[in-house]
Amino acid sequence: MASHAVLSSGSKMWKSMACAKSELRLDLTLSCGQSFRWRETAEGHWTGAMGGRVWTLTQTDDTLWYHVYKNQDKQKEGSDRKRRSGISLAEENTAEKRFKGAPEKDEEEPLAVSSVQNRELDEEMLRDYFQLDVRMDDLYKEWGAADCHFKRIASIFTGVRMLRQDPTECLFSFICTSNNHISRIQGMVERLCQALGSPLCQLDQTSYHDFPSVSALADSSVEAHLRDLGFGYRARFVHQSAKQILDNHGPQWLVGLRSVPYLEARDALRTLPGVGTKVADCVCLMSLDKPEAVPIDTHMWQIAKRDYKYTANNGQKSITEKLYRDIGDFFRKLWGPYAGWAQSVLFCSDLKKFQSFKETAHPKQPKKEEEDKEDKIVPTFCNKKVITCQKHQGAPFLELK
């Protein structure tokens, strides 16, 4: 039985590309609640399904290393990729289109897909998935110049990058997030893939599956099946949303939302069962190329109140539609057109699992020193700063006055 790859066992079957940790931190980006399909299978090694194949990723200071496994059913792999071009992973990505024309691999090829002709494709898929054409160093500097609190956090949480996920996987994964936490969501998404997704390969005792297509999720038996798997009321939302997409729009509708304005895409998603404003914003930000989307949950509301002294006019205690919109506009005004990316850094820094990072970077001070430091804290807003980025030159936003 094949095993999960480990770089220390030898780099022969690994490929690499230049990527500094300041541009991408795998441990933060892959476990902060964007995607629920990556697992740390060895120290610093992350394994998951992406683009219809299984990958293990690891990194050194200036290099991203990747190992791609061959699917267990090679003949099925080709047909699965054609199916995905319409309704699942990386539907319209250039990398996927190019993959369809790749020559078949030799029967004696080892489990890893290591042929030279695939190297360029693999890098293209990784660049697309991690959006590596967006320079995080530049954005961090601009956000930090506009926001002193962000500047303090950024020195600890570098390389938190927004993924460009498959819209089908992103939507139905986030439908499962209602009244849930990350570890439980991971288990639900994994059970969903094992039950309805195509098998990809088995490593050690772990079986990896593709994410199910919209058609598979719309099958009449799905709701009952998911209830048996512990999805509760979310089972109905998954099935009804998939059926509504097929009946009213077609399988390519989701990926088509990448080409429409942010608010139009968000409103379209909100017509689906189980999709409120926050879930719609998550899907817009993490799969539909809408970097200005700022999902607001209790984490972000607490951050706004605690770190930015944000107060609602009427002192309300729950997030209403108006409060949601006002907080989002507040952060868009502060951070500019990539506000959703900046939000993900603060969200990540507030997760309990990452608090040790802060303790390591800033050892606890004696109580008197802490009190003196708190007395000297100034408002978090620095000089106004126009934030731009290659992908959104000229995008409209407000400066912070």
Q: How far apart are CA 194 and CA 187, in angstroms?
A: 11
Residue 367 a catalytic site member: no
Identify which of 68, 81, 79, 78 has the alpha carbon closest to the alpha carbon of residue 109: 68
Supply φ then ψ for residue 270, to 5 degrees.
-70, -10
Token readout for 166 is 């498959």
**Which of 243, 278, 290, 385 is an active site residue?**
278
Identify which of 236, 283, 293 has the alpha carbon closest to the alpha carbon of residue 262: 293
Strands 45-50 and 53-60, by their bridges, are: antiparallel
DSSP characters over 120-182: HHHHHHHHHHHTTTS-HHHHHHHHHHHBHHHHHHHTTSTT-------HHHHHHHHHTTTT--H
Token readout for 245 is 């997409």
Identify which of 75, 80, 101 has the alpha carbon closest to the alpha carbon of residue 91: 80
C-alpha 256: how far from chain center: 19
Helix (H, G, I), strand (E, B) or coil at 343: helix
Q: Which residues are tagged catalytic?
A: 278
